[in-house]
Amino acid sequence: MSAVYLDWNATAPLHPIAREVLAQWLDRFGNASSRHRFGEAVRSEIEAARHRLAESLGVMPNQVVFTSSGTEGNNTFIKGVAWAERQPGTVVVSAIEHPSVREPAQQLTRLGWRVRTVAVDSQGRIEPTDWAAALAERPRLVSLMLANNETGVVQPVAELAREARQAGAIVHCDAVQGWGKLPIDFAALGVDALTLSGHKIGAPIGVGVLVIDRRIDWAPLLAGGGQEGGRRSGTENGAAIATLGALAPIVAEQQPQWAAHTLALQQALEEGLTSRGATLFSAHAPRLPNTTFFALPERIGENWVLALDREGFAVASGSACSSTHPGPSATLTAMGVPAEVAQSAIRVSTGWATDAAAIAAFLAAIDRLRQPDRLHYRAVTW
């Protein structure tokens, strides 16, 4: 049975353009630091990719640092700023940040830093009173996500960044889930640094981008051979970087169509879910057009995922990073969702290759799995 992939926020399928570029690279090799023609060829491809990336994000090429992942970008900037500071300070993060922001922020406490976590409201938006209180504490660094990976809630980053910078903070934005789903313009966001990850837009896993304002003082996480202008040592992943360079302009150009396409699917899905009595999380907040986070009773989220997988549908549950961190989602807990509802959470996330038939078939599968004779597990009651 072929499976329907509804887990694009976890990773997107390889884009056809990425496949083409990678196929060409199978017969190529070279270390970009080598001075001979093999190295030179790779180096020029990397620089061409840097220019294309920069243009698509509205920045200068020397602001683009290639990394291995969103996780590396987030760690690099958060730790890099702390290492460059003479005195420990306060770092502000929201209660719904991805673990790749929350954990490095927490690690700064070993250097004497304080972590101030800002609350969110019941819809998953940054809570304004707590935000103002956090800024009044004069943080040195603020890290906020553009869009949440579970609920899809989009934060007003431009406005929040302006306020944080007025309060004297360096502002970082984890925009990993926004790429390809929202327009991404570094200057319009008004942040000092931005993290992106290639595999969320159809590049292979293993490449990311950190965009940094050149005026910011920070220390690299990976020190060594001095690649990426000394900002990220390690032999460059030429094939993956070239793929990203080819994809970046396509993503920027096609983003409005992809958003319109997934929005129509999201509306159909959410109408279907509402009529089936599902609880939709963050239904009243601005959200990504491709993400629906909801709960249905009868099964806990993990069991929904397994049952749906047997029916041929790949979705995610609400538990943080599923298999590695069982328990209710930290995002839903921060939103005040009762644990008994949060434990039944399911995330559907779509992309350019998802079609309306997949959504209809998914709703039909939900109906089948709710038949009393299919409930092998003790019903979860709220």
Which residues of this protein are in contact with ligand PLP, per CB under 6 A? 69-71, 74, 98, 100, 145, 149, 174, 176-177, 197, 199, 208
Burial degree of 146 (CB within 10 A; 0-12, 13-18, 19+): buried
Short-list 43, 49, 62, CA closest to 17: 49
Nearer to ligand PLP, 74 or 319 (CB): 74
Measured CA to CA, the distance from residue 7 to residue 367 in angstroms comes to 20
Nearer to ligand PLP, 177 or 303 (CB): 177
Report the largest interatomic distance among the alpha carbons of the chain, rounded to a whole angstrom. Answer: 68
Query: Among the options 41, 219, 321, 365, which is catalytic?
Result: 321
For the CB of residue 156, give the shortest distance to ligand PLP in the complex, in Å: 17
For the CB of residue 255, give the shortest distance to ligand PLP in the complex, in Å: 17
Six-digit token pair at 324? 């590695």
For the CB of residue 373, give the shortest distance to ligand PLP in the complex, in Å: 36
For the CB of residue 96, give the shortest distance to ligand PLP in the complex, in Å: 9
Nearer to ligand PLP, 195 or 369 (CB): 195
Short-list 197, 230, 192, CA closest to 211: 192
Nearer to ligand PLP, 71 or 255 (CB): 71
Measured CA to CA, the distance from residue 284 to residue 330 in angstroms comes to 19
Residue 173 annotated among the catalytic residues of the structure: no
Residue nearest to ligand PLP (CB): 70
Nearer to ligand PLP, 71 or 227 (CB): 71
Q: Amino acid identity of 123? A: Q
Nearer to ligand PLP, 209 or 366 (CB): 209
For the CB of residue 369, give the shortest distance to ligand PLP in the complex, in Å: 26
For the CB of residue 177, give the shortest distance to ligand PLP in the complex, in Å: 5
Burial degree of 171 (CB within 10 A; 0-12, 13-18, 19+): buried
Active site residues: 321
